[in-house]
Structure 1
Amino acid sequence: MRLHQAILLALLTLPAAAQTTLPNKTEIIAYVFPKDRILAPNEVAATKLTRINYAFANVTDGKVVEGFAHDRENFAILNALKQQNPTLKILVSVGGWTWSKNFSDAALTKESRRIFIDSSVDFVLRYNLDGLDIDWEYPGLKGDDNKFRPEDKENYTALLKELRQRFDREGRRLHRHLYTSIATGASKNFFEHTEMAKVQHYVDSINLMTYDMYGGDKNTGHHSPLYEHPDDPKHVSSNKSVHNYLEAGVKPNKIVLGVPFYGKSWSNVTATNNGLFQSGAPTHNVYLNYGSIASTLLQPTSGYTRYWDATSDSPYLYNPTTQTWVDYEDAESLAHKTLYVRDYHLGGMMFWEYTGDPNNVLLDAINAGLRP
């Protein structure tokens, strides 16, 4: 029995007050992505989070700029949440999959980095934020048909180092800490194009995107498994990614384990092994948020059956009539992941994206596992 499984069994027999040994500083970070709409005042459960990363700001002409029409209103709404949770931190996340196209240019020279960092400070001060999250997808790699260079590896480190130095100066002036964090890829390819052992010294957290490991593939698979399954042809897992970072010299408390609040689906999947690791075609609506899965596919009349992959600690759904297979995250799999965070003394958990769990089922599972 794995250590975290043994702890899980023990926790079930303990009173609620005893079901944690984690310090209060353990992070629970939500990426909030409203796009072009204004958030409702009570839409985000402030007391269940330590940090919010608002997605996304863009990079234009080497500067951090607003990404959407209602960013100003949304920053005001998020800052107002500090009335409920005074320790809550609000950061802006810059880039993302679509808006990482100009990072390589922005990081290229000392002068281009200065322009980017000046604009970062201006942006944080303009909206009274607590810091900046760099979501460059990815240094030295094509990503979404982005410009990239071999020297991105060193320039990524330089950008984060100089940003940290500037934020430290501004923080002393403001008498408060300004946070820096990064969203990072889960593949070995990512950290081979970065200097994570150096980078870790310049950020408060490394938000490890341990999801999207499957999706768009010609066979089914877990897109955020905790452990690797021997039958998985891609040999992926969150555990493997975490160990890659640890072996690269990253300290455990800098790693924040990422989890998805959405699932992915395949069609034309045969019933062998209830569809797990079988050939199939990604469905048109391949991205399914947890709220829609819970309200439709998990209902008794849906035709779907839930299965549990005990090797990967992952749930999945299969409908033999429609031959549809769905991989997703639920409260049980997140309970295992919170224990994993505790076992390895990681910095906490983050998730993409808040609106995928409208009833806070997944967020409550994270809180139950990580908070006293």
Structure 2
Amino acid sequence: MFIHLTAGFLLVSLSILGSVVKGSGLHENPIDNSPFHRGHAPRGSLEVDARGTQSQVAMMWFAGWHQDSTPAFPISKVKWSSYTHVTYSFAFPTNSCQLSMDGSEGVKLDEFVGQAHQHGVKALIAIGGWTGSRFFSSCVGSAANRTAFVKTTTAFVKLHKLDGVNIDWEYPNSDAIGCNVKSPQDSANYLAYLKELRSSLPKPYLITIAAGITPLPDASGNPLKDVSGFAQVLDFVALMVYDIWGSWSSSVGPNAPLNDTCAAPQNQQGSAVAAAKAWSKAGMPVNQLVLGVPAYGHSFLVQRENAFVSGSTTKLASYNRFDASAYPKGDAWDSDAGVDVCGNNEPNGGTYNFWGLVNNGFLDQTGKSAHGIAYRFDDCSQTAYVYNSTSQIMVSFDDAQSFCSKGKFISSTKLAGFAMWEAGGDYNNILLGSILSCMKL
């Protein structure tokens, strides 16, 4: 069934958001409160499971390198029963268009796939990511290169007994991290590669992509007006609706807004509502859209006089000014300042995983704001903020109420499901449980 989002969809979405604000009650507090994404069966209609009910996509990305981090998130910690699809990150194209897993604990991929299959879960490989997309353009840029890369991709999938791929090209026709090979023909070549890959990996193999909040770019860099060709070969598109605001922004703002039509025009930088509408209008059926949700947030150094509304020492203000010259260190998984893959100096990432907010005293073990921490929930974006007046660190993130709101949005608008970056970012599966409950899965 081919479904377009219309103005009616937007009205339905806004009414749902209104009921979410009034009825969730997940976070009651007297105080008014990637890192960059390194993030099935045919979706012509929603997959029907063995019980005869509609089954939606409950997917996560698994960051292989965090198996040996401190704290570690090994394969044994995955709550398999809560997922339909799991995606191991990352393999990435080399300059010779082979696939490498350097730095991603690739030796454990087969264990990951085996555990997924043992639990009846589909296992995919994520190819690319923020630091691993430099050579996509050249690998799909000619017929000969595409055919060779298709063979490489197919061989990798079959060697590791995978159920499919999640291509995470960040981003076609873009410098992105700063040193990507790029071409105005990237999106056209991307589609040609995916078509050839579909011939090499016919259904029931899964071919999915992770993409930004607007459709892929045309030769001029503008969003494509027609992505129906992609819809014909893909099982679903995971929309990375996060990193919308961060240290690069002019003020503190929501990392992953559900909606922004209720915000001032200058603060409408993108949202789940807008992304779903844009992709659907361009020809991607709603039931082939998966909403990306983040188990992390971005931090900002905000002086106390800019943190609170005028005359208050407890009620947080919105769209705060912050010190753009300061790059606070996030949690133990945060990327350190150093030289990136392009040879450029980069500051601290400043990200806090959900567990990092607990471990660093912003949240208690139930996922609610800790004693002495100011909290604000933004009804428009359905996202949360916490502020430590001592360290003067503010974090924009998704909490359980945010995930519940997104679960209700997915259910009400008939999106295919959700994909969480990343499984290891949650704390005691608080976020995962919330979105599943509110999707009624």
Identity of aligned residues (%): 26
2:105 is matched with 70
Q: 1:37 to 1:326 in 2, by over 3 A?
A: closer
Aligned to 2:263: 230
Q: Which residue of 1 aligns with 2:332?
A: none
Q: 1:164 and 1:223 mapped to 2: Cα distance? A: 34
Which 5+ residue runs of structure 1 have no aligned equivalent? 13-21, 172-176
C-alpha contact (below 8 Å) 1:76/1:127 kept by paired residues: no
Give the one of 284, 287, 293 matched to 1:250: 284
| Cα offset, 1:197, TM superposition | 2.4
Distance 1:220 1:8 in 2: 22
Show CA shifts across 1:188-229 (max 9, x none): 675735552221111111000000001112410001011114
Distance in 1 separating the partners of 2:74 and 2:88 = 14
Residue type of the alignment partner of 2:291: L
Aligned residue runs from structure 1 range 69-88, under 5 A = 70-83=105-118, 85-86=119-120, 88=121
Which among 386, 398, 403 is matched to residue 329 of structure 1?
A: 398
Structure 1 residues 32-65: Cα deviation after superposition (integer angstroms, max 9, x where no partner): 0022746635211111001111110011211223
Work out the CA distance in 2 between the residues paired with 1:209 and 1:231: 23
Partner of 1:30: 60
2:177 equivalent among 120, 138, 144: 144
Instruction: Encode CA deviations 1:165-186: one digit per residue, 9 max, x unaligned.
Output: 2111xx5xxxxx1111000011
> For the Cα contact (< 8 Å) 2:300–2:393, is it kept in 1?
yes
**Aligned pair partner of 1:350 in 388, 406, 419:** 419
Instruction: State the match for 1:52 in structure 2.
Output: 86
CA distance in 1, matches of 2:116, 2:23: 35
How far residue 23 of structure 1 moved from its aligned partner, in angstroms, is 4.6
The equivalent position to 1:6 in structure 2, one of 3, 19, 23, is 19
Contact 2:302 2:393 (C-alpha < 8 Å) held by counterparts: yes
Contact in 2 for aligned 1:275/1:318 (Cα 8 Å):
no
Whether contact under 8 Å (2:243, 2:255) holds in the other structure is yes
Cα distance in 2 for residues equivalent to 1:102 and 1:155: 13
- Report the CA distance between 1:294 and its aligned residue: 2.5
2:437 aligned partner? 368
| Residue aligning to 1:340 | 409
More divergent stretch after superposition (288-297 vs 298-307): 298-307
Using the TM superposition, give the Cα deviation of residue 80 of structure 1 relative to its aligned residue in structure 2, in angstroms.
2.0
Instruction: Point out where structure 2 has 5 or more consecutive residues left out of the alignment.
Output: 1-13, 26-51, 310-315, 330-349
Please name the residue that 2:122 is paired with: 89
Please show how residues 103-122 of structure 1 align to structure 2 within 5 Å.
103-122=136-155
2:273 aligned with 1:239, yes or no? yes
Give how far 1:239 is off.
1.0
Q: Which residue of 1 aligns with 2:33?
A: none
Question: Normalising by the residue count of structure 2, what TM-score does the alignment of the two structures yield?
Answer: 0.75
- Between the aligned partners of 1:336 and 1:370, the Cα distance in structure 2 is 9
Give CA deviations for 1:299-344 in whole Å, capped at 9, x if unaligned: 4766321111112211111234443221011111111111111111
* Structure 1 counterpart of 2:19, one-letter code: A
1:123 equivalenced with 2:156 (yes/no): yes
1:98 to 119, 131, 134: 131
Match of residue 185 from structure 1: 212
**Alignment-derived partner of residue 18 in structure 1:** none
How many pairs are equivalent?
354
Specify which of 353, 363, 366 is matched with residue 298 of structure 1: 363
* Distance of aligned partners of 1:253 and 1:11 in 2 relative to their CA distance in 1, 3 Å threshold: same
Q: 2 CA distance for matches of 1:69 and 1:144?
A: 19
Deviations 1:242-295 (A, max 9, x none): 111111121000100011000111113413442421210353222000001133
**Cα distance change, pair 153–302 in 1 and its aligned pair in 2 (3 A):** same
Alpha-carbon spacing, 1:9–1:266, altered in 2? closer, same or farther (3 Å): closer
- Contact conserved, 1:303 with 1:321, CA < 8 A, in 2? no
